[in-house]
Amino acid sequence: MADKKITALTELNSTGKVSSTDLLHIIDYSASPVNKKITVSNLLADANTAITSFGAFTHDFGPTNAISGLSVVVPNTTPAASAETEVVVNDDGNAFVDFRVESSLSASAIHVDASVDATAGSVNTVTINGDSAKVDFKVNSDSGILVHCDSNDHVVGIGLATPDTAYLLDVAAVGGKSIKAAGGIDVTGVSSITGNTTITGTATITSSTSIGATASGTLNLLSVESITAASATAVNTSNTHTTTLLTTNHNDGNGALADGTTVGQIKIISCVVRGGAGNDYVLTPANFKNGATITFADVGDCAMLIWQTGGWTLASAFGVTVA
C-alpha cells in the first residue's frame, strides 16, 4: 500500500467502528519506546487519568443506545433557569434500570426500583435501607436535625437526633408546640396528657374519659347508658358512663353505683320513663357523703354527683329523695 498521510485516510465514524477489533497506533513506554497496536476497547477499558469535558454534550452510559442507565446533559449555554445541567439516572425510563447506593453496612442504602410493583398497586418504589441494615436516614435544616429515622432503635424523630425509643415517633417542640393538624385526628389507643389542654371548639367525648381540660367552647359528654329496672333484681348504674338514662317499671327497682375512678368525675342519673305509680328506683352508691340512698320516683327526677376522695357528693338534684 502506498504511503498516505493520516489526513488522506478514509474516515471511520462512531457508528461504523467496532471497538473490540478496530485498532489504533500506540507507542508503549513501559520499558522502552515500542510501536504497538491497541483496540478501541482496550484503550478505554482502563483510562486511569482525569477526564474533563466542556461544551454542549450529552454523555450516556447504558447497555444499549436505547437504554440510558446514567445520562449527563450539558446545555450549550451557561446554566440558567432555561438551560439546566442535568444528571439523569434511567433517562429512558426503562423498567429494568434501577438505582442503588451502597454503604459499608448496606448493599441497598438507597434503592430506586424502576419496575412496577403489582402487589402495591402498580407503583415504583424508592426504599431507604432496603436490606434493613443499621443505616439511618437523616434530613437536616439550616438549624439542625429535621428528620431522623433510626434503624437500630426503630423510631423516627422529628427535630430530634436521639428520639425516645419507647415510641415509633418522637416530635420536638418549637415555641412550646409540636404538631399542627388542619384536619381531625383519630386516636384508637389510650392517650396520656401530662400538660394543660385547652379546647376552643366543641369537644365530643363518646367513651369513659377522665377530663382535666379547659373548655372555651362547648364540652359535650356523650358517654351515655340506658338501663331498665323491670324486676326486683338489681340493675346497677355504671361508674364508667357519664350519663345514665333510667327506665323504672317495677316497684322494687334498685341498683348500686360503684366508686368513681378519678377525683372530679361527674355522674348524672336521669329518670326518662316511669311505668306507673310506685315504680321507684332506689340507687345505693357504694360510698355516698350525703346519705345512703337516692330514690327516683318520677319522670324528670335527676341527680348529678361528683366523685371526691372517699365518696360521691351530691352536686345538684331535682325531684329525687335522699335518705
Would you kindly state where each structural domain of the chain is located, as residue ranges?
Answer: 49-96, 99-128, 137-171, 224-322
Q: What is the dihedral of CA 107, 111, 117, 121, to 10 degrees?
A: 130
Taking phi over 0 as left and psi of -120 to 50 as alpha, with beta for the rest, 194 belongs to alpha
Low-confidence ranges of the chain (pLDDT < 50): 208-215
Closest by CA position to 136, among listed 147, 155, 149, 121: 149
Q: 87, exposed or middle or buried, with CB in 10 Å at 0-12, 13-18, 19+?
A: exposed
Q: What are the CA-CA distances from residue 319 to residues 230, 261, 300, 306 (Å)?
A: 21, 27, 7, 18
Q: In the prediction, which pLDDT does 218 show?
A: 58
Q: In the prediction, which pLDDT does 99 show?
A: 92
Phi then psi for residue 169, to 5 deg, are -140, 130
CATH class of 224-322: mainly beta
Phi then psi for residue 267, to 5 deg, are -135, 125
In contact, 310 and 283? CB cutoff 8 Å: no
- Write down how long the chain is: 323
In contact, 66 and 52? CB cutoff 8 Å: no
Sign of CA dihedral 153, 188, 264, 177: positive
CA distance 306 to 48: 85
Q: What are the CA-CA distances from residue 192 to residues 19, 91, 189, 197, 205 (Å)?
A: 71, 51, 10, 11, 15
Closest by CA position to 295, among listed 233, 246, 260, 258: 246
Query: What's the count of helices (H) and strands (E) in the chain, helices before strands?
Result: 1, 25
Give, for 44, the enclosing helix (H) or strand (E): helix 40-45
Q: In the prediction, which pLDDT does 46 show?
A: 85
Q: What is the dihedral of CA 265, 271, 272, 275, to 10 degrees?
A: 150
- Unique residue bearing C-alpha cell 417542640: 173
Q: How many C-beta atoms lie closer than 10 Å to residue 235's C-beta?
A: 18
Q: In the prediction, which pLDDT does 216 show?
A: 52
Sign of CA dihedral 54, 55, 61, 65: negative
Q: In the prediction, which pLDDT does 31 show?
A: 83
Side-chain-facing half-sphere of 214: CA atoms under 13 Å: 5
Over residues 137-190, the pLDDT tens digits come to 999 999 999 999 999 999 999 999 999 999 999 999 998 899 999 998 888 888
Angle in degrees, CA 297, 303, 304, rounded to 5: 170
Closest by CA position to 229, among listed 266, 276, 261: 276
Q: Are strands 219-221 and 203-205 parallel, antiparallel or unpaired?
A: parallel
Q: What are the CA-CA distances from residue 203 to residues 192, 225, 241, 286, 295 (Å)?
A: 17, 19, 16, 31, 32
Q: In the prediction, which pLDDT does 122 show?
A: 81
Q: In the prediction, which pLDDT does 206 show?
A: 60
**Cell matching residue 247:** 327506665
